[in-house]
Structure 1
Amino acid sequence: MTKNETLVETPAGPARITWLPAKKAQLVLAVSHGAGGGVQARDLQALAAELPGQGVTVALVEQPWRVAGKKVAPAPKTLDTGWRALWPVLQEPGLPVIAGGRSAGARVACRTAKELGAHAALALSFPLHPPGRPEKSRADELLGSGVPTLVVQGGNDPFGRPAEFPAGGSYELVEVPYGDHGFAVPKRAEIGQEEAVAVITSAVSAWIKELRG
């Protein structure tokens, strides 16, 4: 797989974009990681492997704190600052850009999608609330994205199971059966890990096809 990297200076420090370019690309999907991991997450890697063959250039975004080797993510405001500073570089191919991310990265994508002019937003494992604290809802961030939004959520995600998401929102939601916050499925589940990942890639591929019209 052909890929290249770009270091981008931001007010929060240097960030890194790893590009997985598509031939005859029609869209860019920019996706960032969560607060507890990096771009090696199974869902991000699966999309990076699958989508370039479908005309979608994937840009894996590492926030400055990850590039600096830190283990703890900064405050949401700092994450947004880093993402905003990256946006002009993500637009350089001259294509519509889908803002995406997993967990904390999904929150960033939804919070900033409209103001940055994102074509759409992809929220993987959106952390609807802290585990065990449903009263601390972050639904307003999701509902306020202002662009077509797809949520892909594990059926057993302690940060928000699919049934907990508000009804009537202007977003689509796809459940990964038995999946936890990292989309891992237990050995006793009726589907295997590869099948669970396939649910993610299939859902995102179908949604992007709809966006293209």
Structure 2
Amino acid sequence: MTEIETEIETVDTATGQARVHWYEAERPRAVVALSHGAGGGVGARDLVALARELPRRGYTVALVEMPWRVAGKKVAPAPKTLDAGWREIWPALSARALPVVAGGRSAGARVACRTAAELGAAAVLALSFPLHPPGRPEKSRADELLGAGEPTLVVQGGNDPFGKPEEFPEGTYKLVEIPYGDHSFAVPKRADLTESEAVTLLTEAVAEWLATPGMPGTRAAL
């Protein structure tokens, strides 16, 4: 099996350059654009796994490295700055005349939820949505998730300190649990599934959701 070739596109924003890592499908139905969390980059295990798998299913993946990360900073800026940067990057993500699924992990998922409706995202993919700070359930961010305004999938680790699946409120979104997973979808050694199996569960859940009738690029949506 050949490796997926990657093209890196640089995008200028008011707060510096962003980088978009493109993983191309041969005949793409849609673009899945994913940004990273506040403490990591596009090398996160879930982002890498989706970039490897989804192009084989007909979806081009764009992993977005936000300007603060490209600049080598260790701490993400305020949410308003993150949202502004994502808005400036969006034209590059939507330039291919394909539906764009907006998403990301952790802080990136929050950005996608907050901006999906205004930017015209076809759907939202929220990986490890940080429902609240660890140990602070009263500081809920559920309004961001519930206000996404587009079909939304949340993929959440069963042991995520930022919000376990059972803590999420009812809504029109779909939620898939990765058993034992923490905020990075790592699983303990005592778990009855391996880390590789957990990642496979994640990629399969996302691929199945994308292929749901009515989703961008599916026959029923055309």
TM-score normalised by L of structure 2 = 0.95
Equivalent positions of 1:89-108 (< 5 A) are 89-108=92-111
**Pairing 1:16-31 to 2, within 5 Å after superposition:** 16-31=19-34
Alignment pair present for 1:142 and 2:145: yes
Matched, 1:57 2:67: no
The runs of 5 or more residues in structure 1 that have no matched partner are: none
- Which residue of structure 2 aligns with residue 111 of structure 1? 114
Alignment of 1:5-24 (within 5 A): 5-24=8-27
Aligned amino acid, residue 193 of structure 1: E
- 3-state SS in 2 of match to 1:72: coil
Deviations 1:45-81 (A, max 9, x none): 0000000011100000000000000000000000001
User: Distance in 2 between the 1:61 and 1:148 partners?
Assistant: 21
Tell me the SS of whatever aligns to 2:9: strand
Q: Which residue in 2 is equivalent to 1:197?
A: 199
How many residues were matched structurally? 212
CA distance in 1, matches of 2:103, 2:208: 16
User: 1:188 deviation in Å?
Assistant: 0.3
Cα displacement string for residues 104-134 of structure 1 (whole angstroms, at most 9, x for unaligned residues): 0000000000000000000000000000000
- Name segments (4+ residues, structure 1) moved above 4 Å: none
Cα offset for 1:13?
1.1
Match of 2:208 among 185, 206, 209: 206
In the alignment, does 2:165 pair up with 1:162?
yes
User: 1:92 deviation in Å?
Assistant: 1.0
Work out the CA distance in 2 between the residues paired with 1:171 and 1:193: 26
**Which residue of structure 2 aligns with residue 81 of structure 1?**
84
Identity %: 68
Q: For 1:198 and 1:53, how far apart are their aligned partners in 2? A: 14
Residue 175 of structure 1 aligns to a residue whose secondary structure is strand
Amino acid at match of 1:68: A
| Counterparts of 1:101 and 1:79, CA distance in 2 | 12
Alignment pair present for 1:175 and 2:177: yes
* TM-score w.r.t. length of structure 1: 0.99
Paired amino acid for 1:45: V
CA displacement, residues 147-187 of structure 1 (integer Å, 9 cap, x when unaligned): 000000000000000000002x1100000000000000000
- Asked if 1:184 corresponds to 2:186, the answer is yes
Amino acid aligned to 1:70:
K
Structure 2: state its 5+ residue gaps: none
The separation in 2 between residues aligned to 1:25 and 1:34, in whole angstroms, is: 26
Deviation at 1:98, TM superposition (A): 0.2
